[in-house]
Amino acid sequence: MSLIPDLRVVFAGIELKNPVIAASGTFGYGVEFEDVVHLDRLGGLVVKGLSREPIIGNPPPRLYETAAGMLNAIGLQNIGARAFVEEKLSRLRQIKDLVVIANIFGYTREDYEHTAEILNQGEGIAAYELNVSCPNTQQGGIHFGSDPHSLDEVVSSVKRFSMRPLIVKLSPNVTSIAQMAHVAQEAGADAISLVNTFVAMAIDVNTRKPRIANVSAGLSGPAIKPIAVRMVYEAARSVSIPVIGMGGISTAADVIEFMLAGASAVQVGTASYWDPRATEKIVTEVGKWCREHQIGRIAELTGAVEL
Ligand SMILES: Cc1cc2nc3c(=O)[nH]c(=O)nc-3n(C[C@H](O)[C@H](O)[C@H](O)COP(=O)(O)O)c2cc1C
């Protein structure tokens, strides 16, 4: 008799049909992937970071492939929260059974609050993911994610404005991820997600110029996976709220590894750049992996690393 594994996971009161979520900034507003991925097979998707007003982003070059990874300094280009609600959300809502998470970015605390207020008016958003960890803008973003006091302030104030569960996306560019995870929890986060990209840099030795116009950029992809797993493990041990893990996931085994480290669900980012169908393929593989390993309920793997 072949076992049909139960892939459902729950975090912050949201049930996902499986733990695989498309990560912010690597999956557009979801609608762009409709022709290549069966969106309703995904656990969920996080849309590109949204701000109060549209942002043009940084000048090119903004992407550069590295050994087992990718540098990006997009600079949070997006159409703005209002246009997202008016132009994209209605289409996403037509897709049955799709869990949509809106990623929020701001330069100031008020920006975050206003963006949440705009998004509160849209129907069909399951949760907000607060990006306090973007390394690619001059101000804001990473500042909130690297200083415990600022993190506490921005999370507690957005929590007051938010009509939806709040996931706080932490920066890996900190000394103690356990401390930042704990601060987010105490400030009212319903869940945390990590990691965002690592601040990095590459130089073209022939031209002597940085590979990315912004000079520094965020590193993502398989190159960061072991560091991300360690950080998810440390963060999960320091909080009682659910943890969503990411950083270099491209296979079912990667998903399981993050769950064993303490993640209730995971996100897949850069893998969609080399294979736009990666998210859906990983969902299929995870089901197969659980069948082959006689795992009845995938949720039981969360934090089940044996030390
Ligand atoms: C091109 C690009 C754009 C991104 N934009 C965002 C964003 O708007 N908001 C955000 O929270 N994270 C953003 N990220 C970070 C990813 O969501 C993810 O945290 C990170 O890339 C690590 O996962 P990965 O190694 O699977 O890509 C972006 C990443 C990439 C590569």
**What is the percent of the chain with per-residue pLDDT over 70, rounded to a whole number?**
96
Q: Per residue in 170-214, pLDDT tens?
A: 999 999 999 999 999 999 999 999 999 999 999 999 999 999 999
Lowest mean pLDDT among 14-23, 135-144, 205-214, 260-269: 135-144
In this prediction, residue 143 carries a pLDDT of 73
Q: Could you check whether the bond before residue 195 is cis, i.e. omega within 30 degrees of 0? A: yes
Two structure tokens written together for 203 = 């130089």
Say yes or no: CB of residue 25 within 6 Å of ligand 1: yes
Q: pLDDT tens across 60-74, in order?
A: 999 999 999 999 999
Alpha carbon distance 280, 232 (integer Å): 23
- Residues 26, 141: Cα–Cα separation, whole Å: 18
pLDDT reported for residue 134: 62
Q: In angstroms, rounded to a whole number, what is the distance separating the alpha carbons of residues 222 and 249? A: 7
- Average of per-residue pLDDT across 94-107: 94
**Which residue type does 193 have?**
S
Give the model's confidence band at 2: pLDDT under 50 very low, under 70 low, under 90 confident, else very high. Answer: low
Question: Would you place residue 259 in the very low, low, confident or very high pLDDT band (cuts 50, 70, 90)?
Answer: very high
Q: How confident is the model at residue 145 (pLDDT cuts 50, 70, 90)?
A: confident
pLDDT band per the 50, 70, 90 thresholds, residue 135: low
Task: Please work out whether the CB of residue 229 comes within 6 Å of at least one atom of ligand 1.
Answer: no
| Candidate of 137, 197, 219, 258 to mutate for ligand 1, largest count of ligand atoms within 8 Å of Cβ | 197
CB neighbour burial string for 217-244, b if at least 16 within 10 angstroms, e if fewer: bbbbbbbbbeebbebbbbbbebbebbbb
Atom of ligand 1 nearest to the CA of 70: 31
Pairing relation of β-strands 44-46 and 69-72? unpaired
Which two structure tokens, joined as six digits, stand for 8?
């459902």
Handedness of CA 282, 283, 284, 287 (dihedral sign): positive
Establish whether residue 220 lines the binding site of ligand 1, counting it when its CB lies within 6 angstroms of any ligand atom.
yes
Which of 290, 286, 242, 285 minimizes the C-alpha distance to 262? 242
| Among candidate residues 117, 39, 110, 52, the one with its CA nearest the CA of residue 81 | 52
Confidence at residue 133, expressed as pLDDT on a 0 to 100 scale: 76
**Would you say residue 248 has pLDDT above 90?**
yes
The confidence score (pLDDT) of residue 214 equals 95
- pLDDT surpasses 70 at 231: yes
